[in-house]
Structure 1
Amino acid sequence: MSTSLRTFFFSATLGVALAAGAWLAGPLPGLAEAPAAKAKAKAEGEAADKRGPAAQPADAVTRHSLGLGESRLAYVATAATLPLAGSKGEVTAHVFHVAYVLEGADARRPITFVFNGGPGAASAFLHIAAMGPRVVEFRPDGAAAEEPVSLADNPDTWLPFTDLVFVDPVATGYSRSAAGSEEGDRAFFGVDKDAEAMADFVRLYLTRAGRMLSPMFLVGESYGGLRAVHLADRLLAGGIGVRGAVLISPALDFALLRASRYALLPLALALVLPSLAAAHLELRDGPTGPLDMLAEVEQFARTDYLVHLASGRGSDRRIDQALARYTGLDPEIIARNRGRVSTRMFTRAYEKQKDRVLSRYDAAVSAAVPRRSGMHFDAILDGAVSVLTPAFTQYARQELGYHTDLPYLLLNREVSGRWDYGTSSTRQGYAGALDELQSARTRNPALGVLIAHGYTDLVTPYAASRFLVDQFAPIEGARPIELKVYRGGHMMYLRPPSRRLLTQDARAFYGAVLAAP
């Protein structure tokens, strides 16, 4: 590993540990920064906002080859920005993206646009940890990168069966509003605003690249799954064909992910239970232990447990004993909470005696976090950010030839806090993508949809997506939705075996969709 990457990686890792999960997007301030220094930094930031946008770096086009077994795959990489225009033709934003196109391929080859979630996450998670031609290798459990941190040819890249365009929405990655200010960025912070901007990006890219007739797919992770569904519906309504969408750990309906303490809490608790059970099984039996019991847990969650929760009754000995067996928690703790096993309760109670907290992003992984420290550290999310931020920064400059002094905003937490999730009478005030998914499948019944989840993901539990898909009314002639579940959590691809299986399933999915009449 080069000296620059080793230094940057050490600084990023130290920053996560000290800042309790704060995202990293540039040089770390001093550990005991004086008030005067903070005031100076604030003044400089405000001055930068007033100066307006900086000049955009030149597009970088490079040629590479990828080793896949005994063969090699030649491809062209383009790291660049595309300008988005407002209603009067004025430039409103510069959207950074990296495109990989196979050498010598024609326009009939599929092209896939890839988005991460957040909102506020750049695409480097999927880019250099899952799908791209270069990858940072993580340990088998996905909890940390292999040492020394480096990029290698990705044996599980999707490039053999589709060209790839990784997109960073405004205020993530190297994408910025044209105004060069926080106020300018906020013009893109909303479900509809974001979908409109990203649809404009897709249209513009396809037009300029001469790929409007290529079979087009969308991939989105987490909130990016919601984004991909909204994009599919919006693009189809605008006359741009979409052949398929791969939704990785998607946030399909925030009503189930941010349930209130009363209205939807029983359903949310019931649907996260299988993921709690999966975490307990792996923590008890190891990462390759049997998961046969999950079918029983899924049935219990939708029947006896949901009825108990909906009744509002207190502790029930039979229910409490079943929950203790499924989750590994002390029956007394369960009884004190009236059989309501929340994600927060589970992650904090499971290894409480060890002063360890389970990750919400993969509950089979824990971190030593003192109970009274006030820290909000997640072993999986913050560990990934501390590795992928410096890795992509160096990759963009040294391998892709894209030169900029902007910080790469892998996870901009300011975005989600200012996001306009919108309201709708059909969504009970929560953002979602269910109506849009059904609308897109109605516009194009041949639209392929593959949903991928990790068993031990407590952020977007797999049982929630399964429940939601089961509620859909049939659409005559529509292609059935596929749902796959893998070992691992929200970013199941951090585990190399699951990354490999995801790629295999995606390849089969693309082949089936493209072969359909």
Structure 2
Amino acid sequence: MKKLAFALVLAFVTFPCLAQEKTAKKEIPDGEIFSSTQSVTINGKTISLATETGTVQLRDENDKPIALFGFTHYRKTNATNRPIVFAFNGGPLSASFWLHFGVLGPKRIEINDPAYTKPAPYKVVNNQYSILDKADLVMIDPVGVGFSKPIGDAKWEDFWGVDQDIRSIGLFIEQFIIKTGKMNAPKYLLGESYGTFRNAGLVKHLQDKGIAMNGVIMVSAVFDLQHLLFGPGDDTAYLIHFPTYAATAWYHNKVKNKGESLKAFLADVRKFTENEYAPALLKGDQLSHTERASIAQKLADYSGLSQDFYMKADLRVTNGEYFQELLKDKGLTVGRLDSRFTGVNEDLLAQSSLTDPQSDAISPPYISAFKDYLYNDLKVRKDLTYTTTASTRKGFKWDWKHNGNIAWNMQVAVTTLPDMTSAMKRNPDLKILILNGYYDLATVFYGVEHSINHMGLDANLKKNIIMKYYEAGHMMYTHIPSMQKFKKDVDEFIDQTSN
């Protein structure tokens, strides 16, 4: 009887625990995939695409579920071992709909570049400039945007940071190529903006795991974030922004001598920046008044601002101040993402601009048209919320620490450039294609040139970095001639590196 009683007590204790354990396991959701067939016509040929969008269960290194990871996969039907491109936007943290619906996917939104696009109905067209004739495509939405979110014991902060982000996307890519049989196919990373900063770290991370990329495509790149910060006592950001100030003034006819072309004009600006502007800033308050006035006049001549403005600014003008000042006399401000765009200057007394005209002009059409495509063409359940940016999530905060950027227990840099340098030195066949917009004041082209010139690569290895330039901005594909060039440049890169 005592044994029977003990058994009954044990059962009452154990069975609820087992039931709770099974319930807990059931509470970890599986991913949900929505399938459809899409098509795209490129160069007169129609390509049929097996399409999946939704989420898969992402596992950690011990196969423990940690996230529902969102993506859209376009695969050419009846084709094997085609190259595959993993693409994402930046932010941090933005969903991938910009690249998806701007230049890479089978459909694209038409906008009124470089002006404002009228409200709906928007025009969505076949994307003849898509890369889908060259490769299969996976558009990635990192955890925090799209449909991606943590599950199980994982938390948002496990994914929100430089290294956390690289790790989770690396896990997704590895698990995806295993699942889809793409381990032996040519593989590419394509990122825009912060996505290029991510790429520089991710390519080494994957290579260290035995997954070498054929190529990495950087759209509007930044590898050293201090280049963008205008930090106290650091003159680098002022120097590397100046050529883009000059390009912007050239576009808006605010320079006296435009020269033969934008390219020739900027060659002169680079020489001035390196040989006169940089030494002047290096002198600090040891620069004489006469020298200061001379440099201020040359800055004014190239940038479209006044000598007096540069004198008051101690020769140092931030990008926000430049946006605000260049066309203030016309009551306008210029765009950060694309300085060809202009908008109403909301406060003529403000020192810095209050808004970005390019973002104001294109965000509504991109977001609205893409969500219409997502829920109707791609057949996603309409009760699922697609988050376009993580900044709308409560408590969003990015951890900027990165392995290799810490010294004396302090953050001494915010850069993934050493990662990319190491990856290239350890894989001399790795090619990097960098696409730069001359009118991009978010991630400036001269900053990319500065980074590349400080990688310490020998001449042969440096040839593996291919630089292309566009007379447009951060999202150069909003400009039709630049979109055509984008297609040509990326096609050639994939052709050259996939065989």
TM-score when scaled to structure 2?
Answer: 0.86
Q: Which residue of 2 aligns with 1:392?
A: 370
What SS does the aligned partner of 1:450 have?
strand
Unaligned runs of 5+ residues in structure 2 are 1-25
Displacement of 1:430: 2.6
Conserved? CA contact 1:367–1:379, under 8 Å: yes
What is the 5 A alignment of 1:12-27? none
Conserved? CA contact 2:58–2:66, under 8 Å: yes
What SS does the aligned partner of 2:253 have?
helix
What is the 5 A alignment of 1:182-193? 184-193=155-164
In the aligned structure 2, how far is the partner of 1:376 from the partner of 1:285? Answer: 22
In the aligned structure 2, how far is the partner of 1:269 from the partner of 1:440? Answer: 30
Displacement of 1:227: 1.0
Q: Does 1:363 align with 2:339?
A: yes
Q: Which residue of 2 aligns with 1:41?
A: none
Among 84, 87, 104, the alignment partner of 2:58 is 84
What SS does the aligned partner of 2:216 have?
strand
Q: Which residue of 2 aligns with 1:306?
A: 278
Conserved? CA contact 2:241–2:446, under 8 Å: yes
Conserved? CA contact 2:321–2:353, under 8 Å: no
Q: Does 1:172 align with 2:145?
A: yes
**What amino acid does structure 1 have at the position aligned with 2:134?**
F
Give the direction of change, closer, same or farther, for the CA distance of 1:419–1:378 in structure 2 (3 Å limit): same
Deviations 1:439-462 (A, max 9, x none): 111221100101111101111110
Identity, in percent, stands at 26
In the aligned structure 2, how far is the partner of 1:365 from the partner of 1:477? Answer: 39
Among 376, 383, 386, the alignment partner of 2:361 is 383
**What amino acid does structure 1 have at the position aligned with 2:284?**
G
**What amino acid does structure 1 have at the position aligned with 2:342?**
S
What is the 5 A alignment of 1:312-323? 312-313=284-285, 316-323=292-299
Deviations 1:443-490 (A, max 9, x none): 211001011111011111100101110122225863521111111111
**What amino acid does structure 2 have at the position aligned with 1:409?**
T
In the aligned structure 2, how far is the partner of 1:487 from the partner of 1:253? Answer: 23
Unaligned runs of 5+ residues in structure 1 are 1-51
Q: Which residue of 2 aligns with 1:61?
A: 35
**What amino acid does structure 1 have at the position aligned with 2:45?**
S
What is the 5 A alignment of 1:496-507? 496-507=480-491
Q: Does 1:105 align with 2:79?
A: yes
Q: Which residue of 2 aligns with 1:456?
A: 439
In the aligned structure 1, how far is the partner of 2:205 from the partner of 2:129? Answer: 30
Q: Does 1:243 align with 2:214?
A: yes
In the aligned structure 2, how far is the partner of 1:110 from the partner of 1:296? Answer: 41
Displacement of 1:285: 8.0
**What amino acid does structure 1 have at the position aligned with 2:390?**
N
Conserved? CA contact 2:230–2:238, under 8 Å: no
**What amino acid does structure 2 have at the position aligned with 1:325?**
D
Q: Which residue of 2 aligns with 1:408?
A: 386
Q: Does 1:229 align with 2:229?
A: no
**What amino acid does structure 2 have at the position aligned with 1:456?**
Y
Conserved? CA contact 2:36–2:50, under 8 Å: yes
**What amino acid does structure 2 have at the position aligned with 1:330?**
S
What is the 5 A alignment of 1:40-51? none
Conserved? CA contact 2:39–2:106, under 8 Å: no
Conserved? CA contact 2:38–2:49, under 8 Å: yes
Displacement of 1:260: 1.2
Give the direction of change, closer, same or farther, for the CA distance of 1:380–1:185 in structure 2 (3 Å limit): same
Displacement of 1:147: 6.7
Q: Which residue of 2 aligns with 1:512?
A: 496
In the aligned structure 2, how far is the partner of 1:53 from the partner of 1:413? Answer: 27
In the aligned structure 2, how far is the partner of 1:239 from the partner of 1:325? Answer: 52
What is the 5 A alignment of 1:100-179? 100-107=74-81, 109-141=82-114, 144=117, 148-178=121-151
Deviations 1:183-233 (A, max 9, x none): 822221011111000000001110111111110000011110011121110
Deviations 1:267-287 (A, max 9, x none): 211111110111111111899
Q: Does 1:421 align with 2:400?
A: yes
What SS does the aligned partner of 2:155 have?
helix
Q: Does 1:330 align with 2:306?
A: yes
Conserved? CA contact 1:255–1:431, under 8 Å: yes
Give the direction of change, closer, same or farther, for the CA distance of 1:110–1:146 in structure 2 (3 Å limit): farther
Q: Which residue of 2 aligns with 1:293?
A: 265
Displacement of 1:259: 3.7
Give the direction of change, closer, same or farther, for the CA distance of 1:187–1:376 in structure 2 (3 Å limit): farther
Conserved? CA contact 1:133–1:153, under 8 Å: yes
Deviations 1:406-429 (A, max 9, x none): 332222225796111105247962
Conserved? CA contact 1:120–1:414, under 8 Å: no
Give the number of aligned pairs.
Answer: 459
Conserved? CA contact 1:113–1:217, under 8 Å: yes
Q: Which residue of 2 aligns with 1:272?
A: 241
Please tell me the root mean square deviation across aligned C-alpha atoms, in Å.
2.7
Q: Which has the higher contact order (CA 8 A, sep 6+)?
A: 1
Q: Which residue of 2 aligns with 1:472?
A: 455
What SS does the aligned partner of 1:284 have?
coil
Q: Which residue of 1 aligns with 2:183?
A: 212
What SS does the aligned partner of 1:279 have?
helix
**What amino acid does structure 1 have at the position aligned with 2:46?**
R
In the aligned structure 2, how far is the partner of 1:285 from the partner of 1:145? Answer: 28
Deviations 1:44-63 (A, max 9, x none): xxxxxxxx989667412212
What SS does the aligned partner of 2:79 have?
coil
User: Which has the higher mean CA deviation after the structures are superposed, 247-256 or 145-154?
Assistant: 145-154
Conserved? CA contact 1:122–1:169, under 8 Å: yes
In the aligned structure 1, how far is the partner of 2:457 from the partner of 2:51? Answer: 41
In the aligned structure 1, how far is the partner of 2:271 from the partner of 2:482? Answer: 25
Q: Which residue of 2 aligns with 1:482?
A: 466
